[in-house]
Structure 1
Amino acid sequence: MTTAERENLKFLLSMAAGGLLSGHARAIAGPLREAALAAAQHSLPKLHGDLRPEFDTGVVFCGRGPFFSDDDLAVLDRESLAYRARAERFHDHYVASGAPIARELALSQAVNDYLASQVGPVLPTYKANYLYYDEPGLGIDPHVDKDEFSLNVLTMLEHRPDRRQSELILYPPGQDALHIHLEPGESLVFFADSVTHQRTRTVTGEAIRLVSFGYRTIGSAA
């Protein structure tokens, strides 16, 4: 299968899984919906062959990452605030790209060494995006990411107020959904191109800022 063919198939499987999880197939009998969802979810990591030999939930790490210092997080926080005015709306959230500090840290030896220790050699994709969900109703429906974020290092910079509505949900194949609640400074490292995930909608007064770094495992574009 060529890279283009694999990407097209991944897109179709992602659309199928996302639509089923979002309730767009209610006219289909329940058992058939469940079978179709299971087939789509199990097929997504298999598109990568032996590169996902121990694929379970798709989560590599969740918590306070050893690859970021307090100073790293502080400068990311400041830069994300400065770049909010440059962010452009992408579907139902805002994205700012091209920030120099974020890009520099995405290429840092500390991050690359940690990822290599967990999943084997990786290639940075030079994708480092600040993400903003700071208006009511922002979020992302169930989907999988493109190859640029095959392996996603997603770090929370701010989530306010203390009582929060929006959350990140992962739907690993054959398992219960994972509800991820990151505190500021915590990171989720996961195979975002292989496990369906979503961010539920924000409510009035809620604001979220994150930074997302993209990587490929060696051979994932083959």
Structure 2
Amino acid sequence: MSAPTLVDRLSHLSTELTAAERENLKFLLSMAAGGLLSGHARAVPEELRAVALATAQRSLPRLHGGVRPAFETGVVFLGRGPFFSEEDIAALDAESRRYRERAERFHDHYVASGAPLARELALSTKVHDFLVSQVGPVLPTHKANYLYYDEPGLGIDPHVDKDEFSLNVLTMLQHSPEDRHSELILHPPEQDALRVHLAPGESLVFFADSVTHQRTRTVAGETVRLVSFGYRTIGSV
């Protein structure tokens, strides 16, 4: 029998932690992965940096007691979702525009929560049934946020999300102008970065608590507006 790796040891450690302690461990691993992806620790030899990054990234999905479905990239679905009609997208677009003035800055972007239509659709059977068909039982977390990147320099550094967004349904409502600069990037373990460019109305469903991801910075005149629904896979510890 081969000796347990550090990933195995971290996975075993997570089974002995409380939910709060496990969230802290995930935060530390996320910070480690994000820092390495952002170019920190340049003084460390490249080979060692690669091992450290792979260890952090491969450990993140293992913090869930083996209930996270196996995946290569963390992407569950990408494209025009069958769970939203044209009318749904138009209504979300209109509501997100109205809620922009209520949005509050959260680090380097703006967030508006509590919008009634977004919350209603987040709890809809259409979205729920689709997710169940893809990954098995899930629970809505009642988290429905409009996200705004509409000032120069807004974005998010590499990170993973909290458990309430373990499964994220992210839908683009506006990205203008056509000459885009900001982009969503997923960093699957030991793979090339996955650059995701959503057209308005398209959705990305992915394991946001297990795959490091980021949004690169906006430039002057650029606007990115999205809606994000959070779900939890049943059995997550």
TM above 0.5, yes or no, is yes
Structure 1 Cα separation of the partners of residues 70 and 30 of structure 2: 21
Structure 1 Cα separation of the partners of residues 185 and 91 of structure 2: 27
What are the within-5 Å matches in structure 2 for residues 19-168 of structure 1? 19-168=35-184
2:219 alignment partner, one of 190, 203, 221 = 203
TM-score, normalised to structure 1, is 0.98
Aligned positions, number: 221
Whichever residue aligns with residue 82 of structure 1, its letter is: R
The structural deviation recorded for 1:131 is: 0.2
Is 1:12 paired with 2:6?
Answer: no
Structure 2 Cα separation of the partners of residues 34 and 49 of structure 1: 25
Whichever residue aligns with residue 165 of structure 1, its letter is: H
Structure 2 Cα separation of the partners of residues 174 and 28 of structure 1: 18
Structure 1: runs of 5+ lacking an equivalent:
none
Contact 1:158 1:207 in 2 (8 A): yes
SS of the residue corresponding to residue 42 of structure 1 reads helix
Is 1:212 paired with 2:228?
Answer: yes
The structural deviation recorded for 1:100 is: 0.4
The structural deviation recorded for 1:53 is: 3.7
Structure 2: runs of 5+ lacking an equivalent:
1-16
Q: Which range moved further: 149-158 or 41-50?
A: 41-50
**The structure with more radius of gyration:** 2
Contact 1:45 1:55 in 2 (8 A): no
2:191 is matched with 175
SS of the residue corresponding to residue 129 of structure 2 reads helix
SS of the residue corresponding to residue 154 of structure 2 reads coil
Structure 1 residue ranges (4+ consecutive) displaced by more than 2 angstroms after TM superposition: none
The structural deviation recorded for 1:51 is: 1.6
The structural deviation recorded for 1:56 is: 1.4
Whichever residue aligns with residue 105 of structure 1, its letter is: L
